[in-house]
Chains A and B, each alone.
Chain A
Amino acid sequence: MHVEEKLTAETFPASPEKATLEGKNKFLGFWLFLGGETVLFASLFATYLALRDKTAGGPPAHELFRMPLVFVATMLLLTSSLTSVYAIYHMKNFDFKKMQLWFGITVLLGAGFLGLEIFEFNEYVHEGHVFTKSAFASSFYTLVGTHGGHVAFGLLWILTLMIRNAKRGLNLYNAPKFYVASLYWHFIDVVWVFIFTVVYLMGMVG
């Protein structure tokens, strides 16, 4: 199939993200990139686990973390992953308007998560948990902050795609782009599940 072909709901292929060679390459290349990202986060997690008790006189994890706040943030991000699934569902059905709507909701939820994270970091700083305080603080902010940076980048990316394609609708050139952005968003979500467990839950317990 050709990239610039005008398509209708009937002629739109079942897997538009893999209908062209460019799409196939993008699909596979992005999965591989996520493999590399996994190793990156694994290294950050390993370091955090090694340093999480090294507070150097600063506040320890169980005194800092506020479960209600983190729980709300987690729910926002998990829900945003679900809404991006709806967006891709509508993309596959060639329903551009509904796809945009659900991506819009995804972005709002993601922005809510990011806002809570900034609020949370701000609270910690006031309690003396600053980046330069201890090895625990450095590794905490680097791990959670790298994730937050990914969320911010993902938001800008999805927004850019939505605005750029707002007037021209779906085709086989931009379908792989939307699909890959949603893969990225799921990946961020999966990483957060681990952060929630390893950083927050384990931090609360001990």
Chain B
Amino acid sequence: MSTVARKKSLIWDYLTTVDHKKIAILYLIAGGFFFLVGGLEALFIRIQLAKPNNDFLVGGLYNQVLTMHGTTMIFFAAMPLVFAMMNAVVPIQIGARDVAFPFLNALGFWLFFFGGVFLNCSWFLGGAPDAGWTSYASLSLESPGHGIDFYVLGLQISGFGTLIGGINFLVTIINMRAPGMTYMRMPMFTWATFVTSALILFAFPPLTVGLIFMMMDRLFGGNFYHPAAGGNTIIWEHLFWIFGHPEVYILVLPAFGIFSEIFATFSRKRLFGYSSMVFATVLIGFLGFMVWAHHMFTVGMGPIANAIFAVATMAIAVPTGIKIFNWLFTMWGGNIRFTTPMMYAVAFIPSFVMGGVTGVMNAAAAADYQYHDSYFVVAHFHYVIVGGVVFALLAGAHYWWPKMFGKMLNETLGKITFWLFFIGFHLTFFIQHFLGLMGMPRRVFTYLPGQGFETGNMISTVGAFFMAAATIVLLINVIVTSVKGQKAEADAWGDGRTLEWAVASPPPEYNFAQTPLVRGLDAYWIEKMEGKKGLTPAEPLGDIHMPNSSILPFVISLGLFIAAFGFMYRTEASWGLAVGIIGLLITLGSMFLRSVIDDHGFHIHKEEVLEAEKGVKA
């Protein structure tokens, strides 16, 4: 129970870590990698569509790339990058030393990671899934090969990870807040994480059930979606969208949270209308569950169902509008600094509003019959997901980079990234609204000349290359600054308002030598305004209790990864069933070990804390 066993190799350290700050880095690297993969897939799509009758990616292969682009970007790029931000920041923002369940935090990461690796193994093992990221049963049941099985099993594994992460953050935020950190003093990003986690908790189980049904149908002879045996493919659509629509808010609420922090920091003003912001976040989270069938207006649910879901959908524009005005009023009269994160934040407002407006257009059920399955829809959801979520992730990465890694990213390169990405984004997707209204269908791999689609598609492809260039500049920025960047102060931007800016960059493993006393909203800002150097402690200096690291989360996830291969090849390979069972035994055995081996953690002694703190100050 001491600190002896902490000299480990870097790789072993990261394989076994339960520290939320290191898990954040793991999420950032893995999510960043999948972002690059999904981005490459997007480029391939745009190259194929650059001119009519192109033969770069034809037919089935195009379907695979298109499916994997959507699936990868949503589940394996955007979600983990959101989790990277949450892990890096939320425990520190509430004045906690770690999350409520450090072990489960690591387990959540490794489940996500192995799920993503499993899905991408499909490229090398006979072909990727090809039924779109929504994988409607009418298509996916007919898909030959194992592509869809990779999708079904990979998403189940990573879905468990996400669910675990959601529960972990809920408990962390409810139970682990520092003294004085009341709910209505929580930073906006913490609030967003809280509501998002609740959405994850209630949205992921329907997806799991839908995936289980599809797994039963494809691998075990089930009949959930087979009309010939009484099944119904619409059940998949309902289950998928009962998950899928809240998923949109799972992604965008943290984005709103990130921007709320950035607007307040770089306007050097407290967030305008904080309590209405909280109210709007909770309301969006609630309404997010009431609108799933707006993805299914053309299924034939009838005018009453369509009308109800249309009105509920339009209602979401109200709390979102409240947020937009609050951000504008936060900047109003503020002392604004146009740093890289702030430029993303400012650019986000008009971009996201456009996505919102086309969202209300889509919500009008009668009009949706015209937009449905056209590039208009593609343009709409890229405006909200890229203009909202990706902008936020890029902004958050620049904003919290010094906190995570202790080095500032280069501002000049950051601004080049921003302009390239901003221009590329609008170049790619703005024109797609019109392509859609002119009748270009989505998910189709080519089009004929002379239909008026040539110019628009070429512009769109050029824009995609701008975004690719932006990503390359960002990578150069990361490499250059990690080699010779300027070391970051604790309050890296000089205008930090929340608790994470009061601790060193990067923070010590225990975050706070003494748990802070929170005396109001923007706790660190209050202390600074009163001329104090640090936070007011809520406890005397003492030994700090820390969780033990463990390899078990890695092994539990690896077991499911192995089991998935076994069950997938069960019917055609003699080793299939055996491998499947061995994989499950590895997982259950590791869970058994976790249950029977006591884990009391260890203590960092007061003297070591004092020494570490001295090192930071010097």
Contact = CB atoms under 8 A, between A and B. Distances in A.
Interface of A: 3-4, 21, 24-25, 28-29, 32-33, 35-37, 39-40, 43-44, 47, 50-51, 53-56, 131-139, 142, 157, 160-161, 164, 173, 177
Nearest to A130: B221
Contacts of A53: 230
Interface in B163-214: 163, 167-168, 170-171, 174-176, 201-202, 204-206, 208-210, 212-213
A130 to B, nearest CB: 9
Interface stretch (B414-422, B488-496, B592-600): B592-600
B548 interface: no
Nearest to B163: A36
Contact of B232 (A51, A56, A131, A134): A51
Contacts of B174: 28
Contacts of A177: 595
Contacts of B231: 51, 54, 135, 138
B10 interface: no
Given A28-B171, A47-B213, A47-B224, A36 B205 contact: yes
B286 interface: no
Contacts of A37: 205
Contacts of B295: none
Nearest to B202: A39
B205 A138 contact: no
B229 interface: yes
A4 B600 contact: yes
A160 B589 CA distance: 12
Residue from the set B163, B176, B202, B205 with the largest chain A CB neighbour count within 10 Å:
B205
Contacts of B210: 43
Contacts of A56: 223, 228-230
B74 to A, nearest CB: 20
Contacts of B229: 54, 56, 133-135
B167 A33 contact: yes
Given A29-B101, A132-B223, A39 B171 contact: no
Contacts of B224: 47, 51, 135, 138-139, 142
A29 B100 contact: yes
A50 B232 contact: yes
B7 to A, nearest CB: 26
Contacts of B170: 28-29, 32
A47 B222 CA distance: 13
B201 to A, nearest CB: 5
Contact of A142 (B201, B206, B213, B232): B213
Contact of B171 (A29, A36, A135, A142): A29
A104 B592 CA distance: 19
B91 to A, nearest CB: 13
A173 B598 contact: yes
A133 B220 CA distance: 12
A55 B231 CA distance: 10
What class of interface size applies to chain B in its complex with A? 35 or more
A30 to B, nearest CB: 9
B232 A43 contact: no
B205 A51 contact: no
A146 to B, nearest CB: 8
Interface string B435-468: 0000000000000000000000000000000000
Nearest to B225: A135
Residue from the set A44, A132, A133 with the largest chain B CB neighbour count within 10 Å:
A132
A35 B202 contact: yes
A135 B596 contact: no
Contact of B208 (A3, A4, A40): A40
B233 to A, nearest CB: 11
A134 B223 contact: yes
Interface string B231-244: 11001000100100
Interface in B214-262: 216-217, 220-224, 226, 228-232, 235, 239, 242
A175 to B, nearest CB: 14
Contact of A32 (B201, B206, B213): B201
B230 A54 contact: yes
B595 A160 contact: yes
B357 to A, nearest CB: 32
Contacts of A173: 598, 600
Given A28-B174, A39-B202, A132-B222, 7 more contacts: A3-B600, A36-B201, A39-B201, A43-B242, A134-B223, A138-B224, A173-B600
Contacts of A137: 223
Given A29-B167, A47-B235, A161 B595 contact: yes
Contacts of B596: 160, 164
Interface in B308-360: none
A28 B170 CA distance: 9
B252 to A, nearest CB: 21
Nearest to A165: B596
A135 B209 contact: no
